């Protein structure tokens, strides 16, 4: 999950002329996410230039942390297969510690 600092780093580095792919390598963020943040920023800035909306509203939108839509996520039932998978992970972690 990305935070506000990641969003602002993307915007700052894009202003400096970095490509989406170079930012993907530098920040470890998917380039589609980078493009989304940049396009949202450009849209907000164009609204400011045309005067279509309130300055304060746009500033709050730009400075807001990323939002995620969780309404379409499906619940997963905890199964025996998941339990075995987690047991295997815990066993391998114990081997690493030993």
- Mean pLDDT, the chain, integer: 87
Q: 0.75 cut: is pTM over it?
A: no
What phi and psi, each to the nearest 5 degrees, are found at residue 19? -85, 165
Q: What percent of the chain has pLDDT over 70?
A: 99
- Asked if residue 1 lies in contact with residue 68, where contact means CB atoms within 8 angstroms, the answer is yes
8-53 pLDDT, tens digit each: 899 999 999 999 999 999 999 999 999 999 999 999 888 888 877 7
Q: Average the pLDDT over each of 16-30, 60-74, 76-90 and give the range with the smallest value.
A: 60-74
**CB-based burial of residue 7 (10 Å sphere; 0-12 exposed, 13-18 middle, 19+ buried)?**
buried
pLDDT of residue 30: 92
Give me the residue label for tokens 């499906």.
74
What phi and psi, each to the nearest 5 degrees, are found at residue 66? -60, 145
All structural domains of the chain with their residue ranges: 4-70
């Amino acid at each position: 999950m990305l935070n506000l600092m990641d969003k602002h780093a993307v915007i700052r580095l894009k202003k400096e002329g970095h490509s989406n792919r170079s930012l993907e390598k530098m920040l470890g963020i998917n380039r589609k996410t980078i493009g989304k943040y940049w396009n949202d920023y450009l849209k907000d800035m164009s609204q400011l230039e045309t005067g279509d909306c309130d300055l304060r509203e746009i500033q709050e939108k730009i400075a807001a942390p990323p939002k995620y839509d969780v309404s379409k996520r499906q619940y997963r039932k905890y199964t025996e297969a998941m339990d075995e998978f987690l047991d295997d992970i815990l066993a391998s972690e114990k081997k690493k510690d030993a």
